[in-house]
Chains A and B, each alone.
Chain A
Amino acid sequence: MAEIKQISLFVENRPGRTAKVAKTLSDAGVNIRALTIAEAGDFGVIRMVLDDPEKGYKVLKENAFTVSMTDVLAVEMKDTPGGLYDIVDALGQNSVNVDYAYAFVTAKAQRAMLILRVDDIAKARKVLGEKNVKIATKEEIQAI
């Protein structure tokens, strides 16, 4: 199964840099499904799930951004207390480490969506599958 491609960007922490990213994607007609910014003083890393990651990667690269593509999991999460716990506990029990995660809700989706970057994506997929956790496909993310 094709993994979901997250786009990550290295950006210096100065005014206008995030706007430049948003403008580049907007001009290319690429939609941002989810976004998170991790900052570390003078620089930060922007991580995004896009409706068209290949195109997004291409236009950002053309505009001289430092970009990388990372495989992540998009997991459907019950929007009730304990929803996150079920997922991360299953991964923890099976020694899959979560490097980072961020969540988003959409108007259409019934449930919250959790984006996970883990050290062993195949194993995470298996563990979560066994727990009957629904993992979104590339097409589903595109269609949100």
Chain B
Amino acid sequence: MSGYWDPHIERMPIEDLHALQEDRLKSIVRYVYDHSAFYRRKFNEAGVEPGDIQCLADITKLPFTKKVDLRDNYPTGMFSAPKSQVVRYHVSSGTTGKPTVVGYTKGDIETWSESLARALTSIDLGSGDVVQVGYGYGLFTGGLGLHYGAERIGAGVLPVGVGNTERQIELMQDLGTTAIACTPSYFLHMMEVAEKMGISIRNDTELKVGIFGAEPWSLETRKRIEDSTGINAYDIYGTSEISGPLFTECYVKNGIHVWGDMFLTEVIDPKTGEHVPDGERGELVFTTLHKFALPLIRYRIGDLSIMTNEPCECGRTHPRIMRILGRTDDMLIIRGINVFPSQVESVLMNIPEVGDHWEIVVDRKGPLDMMTVRVELTETGFSDKIGDLMKLKKKVAKDLKGVLNIAAEVDLVEPGTIPRSMGKAKRVTDNRKV
């Protein structure tokens, strides 16, 4: 049972929260119209003016913003604040084209830190805790974001960044780290290295909390991590366009609290752009209600999730989004069927004989797409009877088929052969030439 960082805001009655959102929506729409040439043009093209936004439902009159807008207006064409007010820049890697630049005013950094301070408090962290930040520092938002949030709640921050795994584990022991923030795939790697070093995370460290995100991960992976290390593993969410990592689950572990006073969250059907009902899956759309260097209106983030407005049993009234199901753009279409890497993960993590590391390779043989799932065999899964190994292969293939509705080849590979990631894991290699 944890406390609240800002009980007044976090437990605000829904009607009051909606009234606050309405006020802030009206002001931010007016603000971007007055300060961003991009939004003034975009609103004009859509035939909408700030005065048309009178209530929350009016948000659907506003056009969406997309990643491509940020790229097209590289570097700072979408900023609303003048250079003199921008105190920080982050730049996302341009894996699929030009990089994108985001900026923050002093107040934006405060809001970002405040968001994480609430989140970290909701998972029982506070003064006296040691938070090891294993996200990248620098242009990536993960490291500095967590850093500021953890400092704000008075925790001791260990800014290790990415990599140097053995040293991370030594420091974890020496400084009594109680919480680690990194990608779930990196933590799985860390578990493996600790074991090789003869260190039990459960018995030889004080680690009690993991804050895992920056890539989709499944409930089954959570169970694996928690069962083998005894820590509580929480999901964290956010992307650089809307600040960086911002939200986590609370100790209840039933959805990620998206602070309604800071962001207005919508869930839409990615095809039609229409709202989907509460509890149904769709694409997340965020409007930054309290961000001033680079406010975004109806930003289509590309992540798929489910939202609920039911208050959480922790007492917080803000909306919750469920575990990210994947991204609209990491969905694979294989033989016409949609496949999310997260589905593959959830199947594999339920089979104890296979390891934590896996990858998907997609090829085209003639007219046919072929999906191969390569997964490491565990030491305990190894039987020297070929029949047992063939049975295991068949079981993995059968379970995959049951969830994905398409057949996949399964390759059992030697432990340690799938490349380990320090940051976001690369799970998919698509060799198809379109």
- Would you give the shortest CB distance from B420 to chain A, in whole angstroms? 13
When distances are taken between beta carbons in the complex, the residues of chain A under 8 Å from B416 are 64
**A70-B379 Cα distance, complex, nearest whole Å:** 14
**Contact (Cβ within 8 A) B377 A66:** yes
**A6-B417 Cα distance, complex, nearest whole Å:** 25
Mask: chain B, 393-419; 1 = CB below 8 Å from A; 0 = not = 000000000000000000111111100
A-B contact count (CB 8 A): 43
**Contact (Cβ within 8 A) A12 B382:** no
**Contact (Cβ within 8 A) B415 A66:** yes
* Contact among B385, B386, B390, B414 for A66, CB-based, below 8 A: B414
- Known contacts: A64-B416, A66-B379. The answer to whether A99 contacts B411 by CB under 8 A is no
**A8-B385 Cα distance, complex, nearest whole Å:** 9
Mask: chain A, 73-114; 1 = CB below 8 Å from B; 0 = not = 000000000000000000000000001100000000000000
**Contact (Cβ within 8 A) A70 B414:** no
When distances are taken between beta carbons in the complex, the residues of chain B under 8 Å from A65 are 414
Give the size category of A's interface with B. 10 to 19
When distances are taken between beta carbons in the complex, the residues of chain B under 8 Å from A99 are 385
Which one of A22-30, A36-44, A125-133, A136-144 contacts B?
Answer: A36-44
- Does B384 sit within 8 A of A, measured CB to CB? yes
- Would you give the shortest CB distance from B382 to chain A, in whole angstroms? 5
**A109-B389 Cα distance, complex, nearest whole Å:** 35
- Does A121 sit within 8 A of B, measured CB to CB? no
When distances are taken between beta carbons in the complex, the residues of chain B under 8 Å from A66 are 377, 379, 382, 414-415
When distances are taken between beta carbons in the complex, the residues of chain B under 8 Å from A12 are 413-414, 417
* Contact among B385, B390, B414 for A11, CB-based, below 8 A: B414
**Contact (Cβ within 8 A) A68 B390:** no
Output the residue of B377, B390, B412 with the most chain A CB within 10 A: B412
When distances are taken between beta carbons in the complex, the residues of chain A under 8 Å from B386 are 38, 40, 45
- Would you give the shortest CB distance from A143 to chain B, in whole angstroms? 25
**Closest residue on chain A to residue B411 by CB atoms:** A42
Output the residue of A45, A66, A117 with the most chain B CB within 10 A: A66
**Closest residue on chain B to residue A43 by CB atoms:** B412
**A70-B384 Cα distance, complex, nearest whole Å:** 8
Main secondary structure of the interface of A (DSSP, over half): strand
**Closest residue on chain B to residue A9 by CB atoms:** B384
- Would you give the shortest CB distance from A72 to chain B, in whole angstroms? 10
- Would you give the shortest CB distance from B361 to chain A, in whole angstroms? 12
**A100-B389 Cα distance, complex, nearest whole Å:** 15
**Contact (Cβ within 8 A) B384 A8:** yes
- Known contacts: A12-B413, A12-B414, A65-B414. The answer to whether A100 contacts B379 by CB under 8 A is no
**A68-B416 Cα distance, complex, nearest whole Å:** 17
**Closest residue on chain B to residue A46 by CB atoms:** B384
- Would you give the shortest CB distance from A35 to chain B, in whole angstroms? 13
**Closest residue on chain B to residue A64 by CB atoms:** B416
- Would you give the shortest CB distance from A12 to chain B, in whole angstroms? 5
**A137-B417 Cα distance, complex, nearest whole Å:** 37
**Closest residue on chain A to residue B413 by CB atoms:** A12
**A12-B382 Cα distance, complex, nearest whole Å:** 13
- Would you give the shortest CB distance from A69 to chain B, in whole angstroms? 9
**A70-B383 Cα distance, complex, nearest whole Å:** 10
**Contact (Cβ within 8 A) B411 A10:** no
**Closest residue on chain B to residue A10 by CB atoms:** B382
- Would you give the shortest CB distance from A24 to chain B, in whole angstroms? 14
> Among residues 28 to 66 in chain A, which have CB atoms less than 8 Å away from a CB atom of chain B?
38, 40, 42-43, 45, 47, 64-66
**A38-B382 Cα distance, complex, nearest whole Å:** 14
**Contact (Cβ within 8 A) A10 B385:** no
**A98-B415 Cα distance, complex, nearest whole Å:** 29
- Would you give the shortest CB distance from A13 to chain B, in whole angstroms? 10
**Closest residue on chain A to residue B379 by CB atoms:** A66
* Contact among B379, B389, B411, B413 for A45, CB-based, below 8 A: B389
- Would you give the shortest CB distance from A136 to chain B, in whole angstroms? 20
- Would you give the shortest CB distance from A36 to chain B, in whole angstroms? 11
When distances are taken between beta carbons in the complex, the residues of chain A under 8 Å from B415 are 64, 66
**Contact (Cβ within 8 A) A10 B377:** yes
**Contact (Cβ within 8 A) B384 A68:** yes
**Contact (Cβ within 8 A) A40 B377:** no
- Would you give the shortest CB distance from A99 to chain B, in whole angstroms? 6
Q: Please list the residues of chain A having a beta carbon within 8 angstroms of any beta carbon in chain B.
A: 6, 8, 10-12, 38, 40, 42-43, 45, 47, 64-66, 68, 70, 99-100, 117
23 examples of A-B residue contacts, CB within 8 angstroms: A6-B384, A8-B382, A8-B384, A10-B377, A11-B414, A12-B414, A40-B389, A42-B411, A42-B412, A43-B413, A45-B384, A47-B384, A64-B414, A64-B415, A65-B414, A66-B377, A66-B379, A66-B382, A68-B382, A68-B383, A70-B384, A99-B385, A117-B384
Nearest first, the 6 closest Cβ-Cβ pairs linking A and B are A8-B384, A40-B386, A66-B382, A10-B382, A38-B386, A42-B411
